[in-house]
Structure 1
């Protein structure tokens, strides 16, 4: 694979740059690096499904504050995973100096 080739989607992995759950402006947790994107997105989907069910319970049942807080943390984790995946997908392929100059001249 040359420097300008993009890796196959199945080869893409999380980069682990995205934090979540803060304590006094310091991230307590972050997404782990090196997880295949498909697996990371599947996990985020599972977390969001659980959060959805918990919010439904919290909305219709009295005394379910714990459900709301659990849903809050599950959505924070899900968002971090999806944001980390988006960072991987938004990265541009590396160009050589010659290729960059050629694209400026065209």
Structure 2
């Protein structure tokens, strides 16, 4: 796709670079590449909805550490999805290898 013909929003997909949930200094999980952005954002919204409910339960209940940890992991997953979508939206137009290769005439 060129600058003259940018991709339609419905054609944009996750790039899969965003990690989440770390073990020591190594990412255990990454957002999957190639998921349509609308579907990825809908999933992030669902995860945040669940996390919100868990945090409300944790705030008002006793012995709710399991709910708090579940909310922690759900928000980490949601943040990674949103960060990956943001990377797609902020980057410039996608170039083919031929377009990205340096020209000998430059």
Shift of 1:93: 2.0
CA distance in 1, matches of 2:21, 2:87: 19
* TM-score (normalizing by structure 2): 0.86
Q: Give the SS at the match of 2:29.
A: strand
The Cα RMSD (Å) is 1.6
1:40 matches 2:16: no
Q: 1:16 to 1:67 in 2, by over 3 A?
A: same
Deviations 1:31-56 (A, max 9, x none): 00000000000000000000000000
Where does residue 64 of structure 1 map in the other structure? 64
Where does residue 99 of structure 1 map in the other structure? none
Q: Give the SS at the match of 2:20.
A: strand
Higher percent of residues as helix: 1
Where in structure 1 do 4 or more consecutive aligned residues deviate above 6 Å?
Answer: none
CA distance in 1, matches of 2:82, 2:20: 12
CA distance in 2, matches of 1:64, 1:45: 23
* TM-score (normalizing by structure 1): 0.86
CA distance in 2, matches of 1:6, 1:89: 12
Number of aligned residue pairs: 96
CA distance in 1, matches of 2:42, 2:94: 28
